[in-house]
Structure 1
């Protein structure tokens, strides 16, 4: 067999391998890129939820986002570490002002760490995180709604208390009347 024949056979074999392997490799690469894109989108969704809800306090979406951090950011040890710090700060019953500030600081540090892990270390800084936009009218409306809820709760508690007191008085009065004889004397 001549050298040119050997080269031709090698060329045919290489082409066959390329025809078989190329689609498989391209599918694997496409799948990896799609997985990477989905994971990045999940991280962005959590980050966006926490960034946008930081002015409202707790929302169902923000709680869900926090509970997803361990899964979605599992490959980001710095984010997980900061999430643990924030989580630890949240577990305080009746926090004082210093503890409330620690909670805020840890939340802001978590957001900053997430921003860095997502590639926003220069554009989303701690300073940016600490200055959310909230229109004054919206803030006033939220305060009024909270005051309204507080007033409703106090009114309901007062109403329940008075109903319980008047219910007890009626029962006592009914019991005394039920024991008296028709002539007005008490039964022995």
Structure 2
């Protein structure tokens, strides 16, 4: 075999040229397909990463807006989505678990500690979203909440409580305080 290769170098050269041409043809055919597939994979991965970041940002923004009253509908919605949206960020999920546990009345966690836990959770989110260099601790504490909004919230809560008492058959302390007529009287009592 070696004698044949040595005696006929043109055959070996032709064979190697044909082999190289075959590889070139295969690469020319397969290369663009592979490049297109790679480009599509990169585009899809980039789009998915951008959609995940956008969802995280929406949750972060909602919680920043509602950090004074996380029990609002949008605050509760955002809190309930943390485990799904931040599934890949252990620090955020742990901070949310700590905050969630602080809401258990049997634990008697003081309000200032709950506020610290909210801040820690928001800081963890900011870090994941690469905002940690721009946001300072006091940025999480600074909050505009006008007095009229606090009064409105208190009024809404009082009205809700009153409605619940009425629906449950309980009267409010100030309602229905007039003396009742006795069962034997046909007429109401005279005015005071």
Q: Offset at 1:106?
A: 0.4
RMSD: 2.7
Match of 1:64 in 2: 77
| Structure 1 residues 51 and 147: alpha-carbon distance in aligned structure 2, compared to 1, 3 A threshold | closer
> Is the CA contact 2:64–2:122 (under 8 Å) kept in the aligned structure 1?
yes
**1:104 partnered with 2:112:** no
Q: Offset at 1:37?
A: 0.8
Does the residue aligned with 1:81 lie in a helix, a strand or coil?
helix
Q: Name the structure where helix makes up a greater proportion of residues.
A: 1
Q: Offset at 1:9?
A: 1.5
Aligned equivalents of 2:96 and 2:111: distance in 1? 16
Measured against aligned partners, the alpha-carbon deviations of 1:123-164 in whole angstroms (never above 9, x if no partner) come to 1122211122x1xxx61211332454477667x7245443xx
**Of the candidates 144, 148, 166, which is equivalent to residue 141 of structure 1?**
148
> Is the CA contact 1:109–1:126 (under 8 Å) kept in the aligned structure 2?
no
TM (norm. structure 1) is 0.75
Match of 1:183 in 2: none
TM (norm. structure 2) is 0.73
| Structure 1 residues 123 and 79: alpha-carbon distance in aligned structure 2, compared to 1, 3 A threshold | same
Number of residue pairs the alignment of both structures matches: 164
Q: What are the ranges of 5 or more consecutive residues in structure 2 without an aligned counterpart? A: 1-10, 163-170, 187-192
Aligned equivalents of 1:116 and 1:54: distance in 2? 17
Match of 1:50 in 2: 63
Q: What are the ranges of 5 or more consecutive residues in structure 1 without an aligned counterpart? A: 179-188
Does the residue aligned with 2:172 lie in a helix, a strand or coil?
helix
Larger radius of gyration: 2
